[in-house]
Amino acid sequence: MTKGYWVSVYRTISDPERLTAYDKLAGPAVRAAGGRLLAGSGSRVVAHEAGNTHRVVLIEFDSFDQAVAAYDSELYQKALAVLSDSVERDFRIVEGLD
The pLDDT tens digits for 53-87 are 788 999 999 999 999 999 999 999 999 999 989 99
Q: What is the CATH number of the domain that holds 45?
A: 3.30.70.100
- What residue numbers bound the domain in which 11 lies? 4-95
In this prediction, residue 97 carries a pLDDT of: 94
Rounded average pLDDT over 14-38: 96
Domain count, the chain: 1
pTM of the model as a whole: 0.91
Instruction: Give CA–CA dist 39/7, Å, rounded.
Output: 10
Q: What is the mean pLDDT of residues 42-51?
A: 81
More confident residue, 29 or 46: 29
Supply φ then ψ for residue 5, to 5 degrees: -135, 140
